[in-house]
A = this chain, B = another copy of it.
Amino acid sequence: MGELPNLASDAVLKQSVPVPDYFEEVKGVDYSKPESRNARAKDIVASMRTMGFQASSVSKACEIIDEMRAWRGKHKSELEEHDQKGEFDDDGYQKTTIFMGYTSNLISSGLRDTLRYLVQHKKVSAIVASAGGIEEDLIKCLAPTYMGEFALPGKKLRDEGMNRIGNLIVPNDNYCKFEEWIVPVLDKMLEEQEESAAKRGKEAMDADALVWTPSTMIDRFGKEINDETSVLYWAHKNKIPIFCPSLTDGSIGDMLFFHTFKASPKQLRCDIVADIRRINSLSMEASRAGMLILGGGLIKHHIANACLMRNGADWAVYINTGQEFDGSDAGARPDEAVSWGKIKAEAKSVKLFADVTTVLPLIVAATFAAE
In the complex the two chains form, is B52's CB within 8 Å of A108's CB? yes
Interface string of A140-159 (1 = CB under 8 A from B): 00001111001111110111
Instruction: State whether A358 and B202 are in contact (beta carbons under 8 Å apart), knowing that A15-B172, A105-B326, A338-B154 are contacts in the complex.
Output: no
Contact of B110 with A309 in the complex, beta carbons under 8 Å: no
Chain B neighbourhood of A3, CB < 8 A: 261
Task: Please name all residues of chain B whose beta carbon is closer than 8 Å to the beta carbon of A341 when the two chains form the complex.
Answer: 11, 14, 158
A323 touches B323 (CB 8 A): yes
The 4 closest A-B pairs by CB, nearest first: A166-B327, A16-B161, A154-B338, A51-B110
Identical chains in the assembly: 4
> How many A residues have CB within 8 A of the partner chain?
182
Q: Does A290 contact B (CB under 8 A)?
A: no
Q: Are A108 and B327 in contact, CB atoms less than 8 angstroms apart?
A: yes
Q: By the criterion CB–CB under 8 Å, are B160 and A10 in contact?
A: no
List chain B residues, Cβ under 8 A from A173.
15-16
Additional A-B contact list (11), CB under 8 Å, known A8-B280, A254-B305, A267-B273: A13-B175, A15-B161, A26-B145, A54-B357, A55-B357, A58-B358, A105-B327, A164-B336, A205-B205, A205-B211, A269-B269
Residue of B nearest to A309 (CB): B8
Asked whether any CB of chain B lies closer than 8 Å to the CB of A93, the reply is no
Given A37-B370, A358-B358, CB of A194 within 8 Å of CB of B204: no
Q: How far is the CA of A347 from the CA of B153 in the complex (A)?
A: 14
